[in-house]
Amino acid sequence: MSTKNASTRSTSRTPLYTLVGMLGFAGLFSVAQNGLPALLAVSYEDTVVAATSSPLAAVVAEVQKQEEVLHVATPKPLKAIYMSQCAVGTPSLRNDLVKLVEDTELNAIVIDIKDYTGKIAFPTDNEKLAGSVSEACGARDMRSFVKRLHESGIYVIGRITVFQDPYYTSEHPELAVQSSKGGVWEDNKGLAFVDVGSRPFWDYIVELGKISYELGFDELNFDYVRYPSDGPMSEAVFTQSGTYSKPEMLEQFFLYLSNELRPTGAVLSADLFGMTATVESDMNIGQVLERAIPYFDGVYPMVYPSHYPSGFNGYSNANEHSYDIVNYAMETAVARVLATTTRIDALAYERIGTSTPARYAKPAYDKYLLRPWLQSFDYPVHYTPEMVAEQIKATYDAGLDSWLFWDAANKYTSLRAVLLPE
- Residue 35 pLDDT class (50, 70, 90 cuts): very low
> What is the tens place of the pLDDT at every residue in 203-239?
999 999 999 999 999 999 999 999 999 999 999 999 9
Q: 184 and 178 in contact (C-beta within 8 Å)? A: yes
> What whole-number distance in Å separates Cα of residue 314 and Cα of residue 52?
73
Q: What is the percent of the chain where pLDDT is above 70?
A: 84
Gap between the Cα atoms of 53 and 36, Å rounded: 4
Q: Are strands 79-83 and 403-406 parallel, antiparallel or unpaired?
A: parallel
- Among 138, 137, 233, which residue's Cα sits nearest to residue 193? 233
pLDDT for 3 equals 58
pLDDT of residue 139: 97
Q: Would the CA dihedral through 371, 376, 379, 384 be positive or negative?
A: positive
pLDDT band at residue 43 using 50, 70 and 90 as cut-offs? very low
pLDDT > 90 fraction of the chain, expressed in percent and rounded: 83
> Per residue in 355-387, pLDDT tens?
999 999 999 999 999 999 999 999 999 999 999
Span 44-80, pLDDT tens digits: 333 333 333 345 555 544 444 456 788 999 999 999 9
Identity at 371, one-letter amino acid code: R
Cβ partners under 8 Å of residue 400, min gap 6 = 330, 334, 367, 368, 370, 371, 372
The Cα–Cα gap between 307 and 385 comes to 18
Cα–Cα distance for residue pair 237/207, rounded to 1 Å: 27
Confidence (pLDDT) at 291: 98
147 compared with 24, residue with greater pLDDT: 147
Contact between 329 and 301 (Cβ < 8 Å)? yes
Q: Across the beta sheet with 350-351, what order do the strands follow?
A: 341-342, 360-361, 350-351
Residues 347-362, mean pLDDT to the nearest whole number? 96
Give mean pLDDT, residues 338-353: 97
- pLDDT score of 34: 44
> How many other CB atoms are there within 10 angstroms of residue 348's CB atom?
16
Per-residue confidence band for 101, with pLDDT thresholds at 50, 70 and 90: very high
Sequence-distant (6+) residues with CB within 8 A of 62 are: 49, 51, 54
pLDDT at 159: 98
122, 195, 193: which is closest to 161 by C-alpha?
193
Considering the entire predicted model, what is its pTM?
0.86
What confidence score (pLDDT) does residue 68 get?
77
Q: Name the residue ranges covered by the structural domains of the chain.
A: 7-66, 74-416
The whole-angstrom separation of Cα 130 and Cα 123 is: 7
CA-wise closest residue to 383 among 339, 350, 417, 342:
417
Give tens-digit pLDDT for 168-210: 999 999 999 999 999 999 999 999 999 999 999 999 999 999 9
pLDDT, mean of residues 120-124: 97
CATH homologous superfamily of domain 74-416? Glycosidases (3.20.20.80)
**What's the pLDDT band for 349 if we cut at 50, 70, 90?**
very high
Assign 333 a pLDDT band (cuts: 50, 70, 90): very high
Torsion, Cα of 181, 187, 189, 193 (10° steps): -110
